[in-house]
Amino acid sequence: MTALAPVKTGNIQLKFSTDGVTATVQLIDPKSKTAPKAEAIVNAIERAGITIDDKIKERVDQVVEATQKGEGPVEPFVVAEGTRPIHGKHEQINWDESLRAQLDEWQQEMPPDAYPVQAVTRVEPGQRFATLQPAVKPKPGRSLLGEEVPAKGEGMPLDFHMTIQRDEDDPSVLIAGVAGQVVQDELNVCVEPVHLINGDVGLETGHIATTAPIWIEGRISDHYVVQSDHNITTTGAIESAHVTSQKSIFVRRGIIGRHNGLVEATEDIVAKFVTDAFLKAGRDAVVGKQIMNSHICVGHSLEAPSAGLIGGSTFVQETLRVASVGSDADIPTRLVLGVKTAIVYQLTMIIKRVRAARDTLDRIQAIVDPLEEAKSRLTVDQRRILRELISKTDDAKKTIADDEKEYEKLIEDVFSDEPAALLIEKVINPKTTLCIRDRMTSFEREVRGPVRIERRKIKNATELVLLDDKGLVIRPLPSERIDPAQVIEGFETSNFERANTENQATPDT
């Protein structure tokens, strides 16, 4: 496909789209009193190899007339157009109004599209839940030079499982054949039965473990374990519990960790607020109103454009967007971007294990040392106990050595190569510490938003730079280089002891 270069003629600039389908004109100096000539614009279009027709002449005359009246074109005005390609679109589901109304209730105080409709709604047998928007087949276009412009996409139909039926009178209407949640995996769509808890997870339910999606009409209470190989949805809050999903976790209220528990998802975690909690999201996290005194690991991006992030430590591999960081009460808040958060979590667990193993070793050694000094006076049973204790010290030393070896291996791979940025809508408060990869800066004064902070090379030196909302550099920030061990400082993990659910697991539905 031939690329057409822009052309300047008088006070007019003629530009072509990258696919060559459209040509636009724009005034170089909108305040100039010299009106462009129609003939000059036509000649410029013709020199580009485009055949002039009556439609092009008419549009050029419109540009000239509008310019003479002082009405433009300030914005680019299309003067010539080929045939735009029609890009293919797969068959799509248009959700029923009743489900959209439920989604709207969940969405209140949240960023747009925080909750997917199929994750926060359920269907019953016989329920009409959606209509189909037909697939659009791709059709190539033609550039202004007559060249074919390829279309993107395929325009394939969806493949519906037997759990979904079509209305006899209107096949575009979809009807649920069973109770559950509508699940779409690429082009495959089905209704997947859910494990339904009609109330809170607590004494009456015990711990929950299943391969099915879990829907909880209530909260997850302190000290309980909820595990699923699929999504977990709760209409209440998650308290100091251990909640694990091999997909995503959707919380209508908030996560109240009480400095304990753990909420971890292989994909996303979405909640209205997070307080005193430990979170680990393999992909994204979305929070509506506030993140307070929590320790969070996010594998891709944390989106909380209306939330204040106060205290704790937040580790994000790529983009962190919040309204504000810290508070006017000078609460220390640590942000770390540009790191592989899965490795950060592993390193933190290793540090914790080594610390615990050393404490155990010290306690055993305190018993062993006096026994060894009095070894000649020990009874047979006491000698046996001494041998067992020495064996335990050897095991503890080996465990520590293995963990330290693993730590040294992982710490070398902690930095991510993906672009990382902090986006602040309102303010960065004092006592905020920010690390992006191996650069660290501390804020002792307030910085007003909207601003963006990135790690960039400025005059052959790597710096953390402050940018405005248009991406223009305001100034470099004073920063220092730190090593990987310093980067992972400040992140904490839960002391929650997960209960053994193997003998209590809820049968799959």
Please indicate whether residue 379 or residue 72 has the higher confidence score (pLDDT): 379
pLDDT band at 496 (very low <50, low <70, confident <90, very high): low
pLDDT grade, residue 505 (50/70/90)? very low
Tell me how many helices (H) and strands (E) the chain has.
Answer: 6, 38
Residue-wise pLDDT for 19-33, tens only, equals 889 888 877 776 766
pLDDT for 203 beyond 60: yes
Give the pLDDT band of residue 503 (cuts 50, 70, 90).
very low
**Cα gap 29→11, rounded to integer Å:** 6
CA 66, CA 64: separation in Å to the nearest integer?
Answer: 6
* Structure confidence at residue 79 (pLDDT): 83
Render pLDDT for 209-235 as a digit per residue (tens, 0 to 9).
Answer: 999 999 999 999 999 999 999 999 999
Share above pLDDT 70 across residues of the chain, in percent, rounded to a whole number: 94
> Where does the pLDDT of residue 389 fall: very low under 50, low under 70, confident under 90, or very high at 90 and above?
confident
Mean pLDDT rounded to a whole number for the chain: 89
Residue 187 to residues 160, 203, 229, 296, Cα–Cα distance (Å): 8, 41, 21, 33
Tens digit of pLDDT for each residue in 455-480? 988 888 889 999 988 888 889 999 99
301 three-class SS: strand
402-423 mean pLDDT: 94
* 28: three-class secondary structure by DSSP: coil
Integer angstrom CA distances of residue 465 from 25, 315, 332, 477: 36, 19, 21, 5
Number of Cβ atoms within 10 Å of the Cβ of 53: 9
Asked if the model's pLDDT at residue 6 lies above 80, the reply is: no
